[in-house]
Structures are given as structure tokens and as C-alpha cells.
Amino acid sequence: MKLRFSPYKLKFKHPFGVSSNVRTHTPTVFLSLEIGGFKGYGEACIPAYLGETEEETIAFFNDASATLKKLNSDFNIAETVTVIDGLSETCNAAKAAIDIALHDLKGKILGKNIRQLYDLPVKENSVTSSTIGLDYADKIAQKIIEASDFKILKIKAGSENDKALINMIRSYTDKPLYVDVNQGWKDKHFVVDMLHFMAENNVLLVEQPMPVEMIDEMAWVTERSPVPTIADESVKRLKDISRIKGAFSGINIKLMKCTGISEALRMIDLARESNLKVMLGCMAESSCATTAMAHLAGLADYIDLDAPYLIVNDPFKGISYNNGQICLPHSAGIGLKLLNAEIFS
Ligand code: MG
């Protein structure tokens, strides 16, 4: 197996604001694994707040190359990702890139797309939210107009002024909303009051209302919440799910947090056994990782897979959007078309 990688900067349509920072681009590292004329693509998207760097990601690929180079075309994905996972305690995005590329490659070798590889259900009319970052009122109004195709908007919140923010959004649109607080609320009584306000304003779910360490307060809040509370920062991998049981109504699974499709599928199974809702999310990543995750859409309650829509220099074409619904490619593997072959030259 041949391994190539390429660091890249994904540029946003608009600077992207959340409760802690504003960004104009995200560093990512693309990966290509090649065997017998088939190429599988993967991606390690590494926004700074995740704490994973380009150097560590590349060093991890170099460490993993000894294992990967030995593989032949009948490799086993599950066995390979178990070995790869054991190479480091960290580098989840790098692990995800390898897992995604192995799935793309296996699918191409077998002539099956990812949902066919696992015989996953396909839900017609899967609707994704489109994210509106924190911004000035006039910019938010413009972003709402640009997202007019989408049926659900996801709002980044997380301040004392979130009622005013929602009232402002409501002056422009009555679409259902997902609200992502990114750990921004700290007082449990304030949080319960906010969650009731959200429910009255057609907010369908609230993501990560409180800081990760406030797990007992979150359990108290969720018991009193009229809307589902969804863990994002609180749940990265499979092992985190047991810790948050009872504290949230559901989990937001992202490939870059959970090391890839193999573990995402196990997390969905455990969430179902634990009576937790399942949301599929993404970082500000390209069509490569987002399309890989979108193959799992038939298993989810909520889908937030709009990243490629927010990026201007995506080197891949895969997932597309039609009237707020996600449209998946049918070709083998992830089903990507590489638009910019130079990235691996
Ligand atoms: Mg979130």
C-alpha cells in the first residue's frame, strides 16, 4: 500500500465565530492510500481548539505507515484500525483520516459504497442543518438569506445575551433551530430558564449548554429540560458515553473526535442501547470527511453535515445539498471526485 499526505488550508465563505473565537480557515491534512490501482482518500481536520497539530498529524501518519505499507488488497478494516489506534493515546483526527481512507479504498476494491459495505439503512429526505456563526446582526441576516435552501438553521450561541440573539434571528426567520452553546452557560438555574425560552422559540435541540466538567449540573438541567440536550465536547469517543448517561438526551458524533467510521458505528449502537439520541456532526472540514460521515445518515436523529457548503476551496466533490436535504454520491467508497489532483502531486 502506498501512502501520501498533503497539508491544506480550507478557507471559509465567512469568518466563523463561536463563543470562544473567530476563524477564517481550518488546517486539514489529506491522505491518500493506494493499492492495486485503487486510491482511498481520507482527511484529518485539525482546528486549533482540538489541540492536534499538523506536525503531530504528519508524525502519526509516518508512524502508521509501517503498518499500512504491509497491507494487501484483502485488508481487514476493523483489525487495521485497532492496530492504528494503539499507536498513540491522541491524534484522533489522524486516526480518522486513516479509517476514512481505508473505507474509501475497501469500497472501491469491492465496488460498494460505504452504506453498502455495512448494509446501512437509507433514509429518504435526510435534512441537514446549516450553521450560522456568531456575528453582527447585519451579517447574520445575510447568512440567513444565503442559507435559504436549508430547512433547519444551527445557531452558535453561548453568552448572557442569547435571548436577544434568538429574538434577532426570529425577526428574520421562523425556521426550526438547533442551538449550540459550546459550553457557554455556567449557572444551572439560568440554563433551565434558557432551555424553556428555547423550547418556546421552536428550538429543536441545544448542544453542549455547560462546560464539560459540570456533569452533575447537566444531569440536573437535562431532567428539567423541555428540549433535548446533546453532548458534543463532553463525548469524543465510545468510552465517554457511559460517563454522560443521564446527563444529556443525546450525543453529537464527529469523525474527527471519534477516530473514524468504525468507532462512529459502535457509538451509534451504544447510544441506542443507552436510549440516547444520535446527531451526526462535522468540523469545518471538506467534502472528503463530511461525505464519509453522510453515509451513516440513515442511522441518525439529527444531521449537521453542512461543512462543505461553508468552504470555498474544497478540493473534493461528494455530498451535495438540495432543498436542505443531503444528496449522497452512489459510486464506490465515499464516492468522491478529486477536483484538485495537485494536492497529492
Ligand atoms: Mg457543537
Distance (Å) from CA 253 to ligand 1 centroid: 10
Cα 180 to ligand 1 centre (Å): 5
How remote is the C-alpha of 26 from its chain's centroid?
14
- Measured in Å, residue 124 CA sits from the centre of ligand 1 at 25
**Which helix (H) or strand (E) is 30 found in, with range?**
strand 22-35
Instruction: Enumerate the H helices of 147-244 as residue ranges.
Output: 162-172, 188-200, 215-223, 241-244
Residue type, 82: T
Residue 20: band (very low, low, confident or very high) from pLDDT cuts 50, 70, 90: low
| Cα three-residue angle 313-315-316, rounded to 5 degrees | 125
Q: How far is the CA of 256 from the centre of ligand 1 (A)?
A: 13
> DSSP code of 151?
S
Cβ 227 vs Cβ 65: under 8 Å: no
CA 252–ligand 1 middle distance (angstroms): 7
Residues 6+ apart with CB under 8 A from 132: 140, 143, 144, 147, 153, 154, 155, 156, 169
pLDDT of residue 17 exceeding 80, the answer is: no
Q: How far is the CA of 210 from the centre of ligand 1 (A)?
A: 11
**Residue 75 CA, ligand 1 centroid: distance in Å:** 34
Rounded to two decimals, the pTM is 0.96
pLDDT of residue 115: 96
pLDDT value of position 18: 62
- Cβ contacts of 294 within 8 Å, gap of 6 or more: 280, 303, 305, 318, 319, 326, 328
Residue 139's pLDDT band, with cuts at 50, 70 and 90, is confident
- Coil, strand or helix at 117: helix
Q: How many CB atoms lie within 10 A of CB 163?
A: 14
Question: How far apart are the CA of 341 and the centre of ligand 1, in A?
Answer: 32
Contact criterion met (CB below 8 Å) for 51 and 43: no
236-261 pLDDT per residue, tens: 999 999 999 899 999 999 999 999 99
Confidence of residue 324 (pLDDT cuts 50, 70, 90): very high
The DSSP element (H or E) to which 49 belongs, if any, is none
Residue 129: pLDDT band by 50, 70, 90 thresholds? very high
pLDDT band at residue 19, thresholds of 50, 70 and 90? low
Tell me the average pLDDT across 155-162. Answer: 91
195 alpha carbon – ligand 1 mean position (Å): 16
CB 96, CB 255: distance < 8 Å: yes
The CA 251 to ligand 1 mean position distance, Å, reads: 10
Q: Measuring CA to CA, how many Å separate 198 from each of 165, 173, 311? A: 11, 15, 29
Over residues 61-91, the pLDDT tens digits come to 999 999 999 999 999 999 999 999 999 999 9
CA–centroid distance, residue 208 to ligand 1 (Å): 7
User: How far is residue 21's CA from residue 134's CA, in Å, rounded to a whole number?
Assistant: 9
Going from the Cα of 283 to the center of ligand 1, the distance in angstroms, rounded, reads: 9
For residue 133, name the pLDDT band (cuts at 50, 70, 90): confident
pLDDT digits (tens, 9 = 90+) for 184-240: 999 999 999 999 999 999 999 999 999 999 999 999 999 999 999 999 999 999 999
| Distance from Cα 71 to the centre of ligand 1, integer Å | 36
Report whether pLDDT(148) > 90.
Answer: yes
Ligand 1 geometric centre to CA of 205 (Å): 11
51-66 burial string, b = 16+ CB within 10 Å, else e? ebeeebbbebbeebbe
For residue 234, report the distance from its CA to the centre of ligand 1, in Å. 10
Q: What is the mean pLDDT of the chain?
A: 95
**Alpha carbon of 54 to ligand 1 centroid (Å):** 22
Q: What is the rounded average pLDDT of the residues 116-126?
A: 93
State in Å: Cα 279 to ligand 1 middle.
10
Q: What is the pLDDT of residue 48?
A: 85
Q: How confident is the model at residue 135 (pLDDT cuts 50, 70, 90)?
A: confident
- Quick one: pLDDT at residue 138? 87
**233: CA distance to ligand 1 center in Å?**
7
How much distance in Å is there from the Cα of 111 to the middle of ligand 1? 34
Q: Please, where are the H alpha helices in the chain?
A: 54-69, 77-85, 92-110, 114-117, 137-146, 162-172, 188-200, 215-223, 241-244, 255-258, 261-273, 287-294
- The per-residue pLDDT for 52 is 94
* Nearest residue to 24 (alpha-carbon basis) of 5, 33, 6, 11: 11
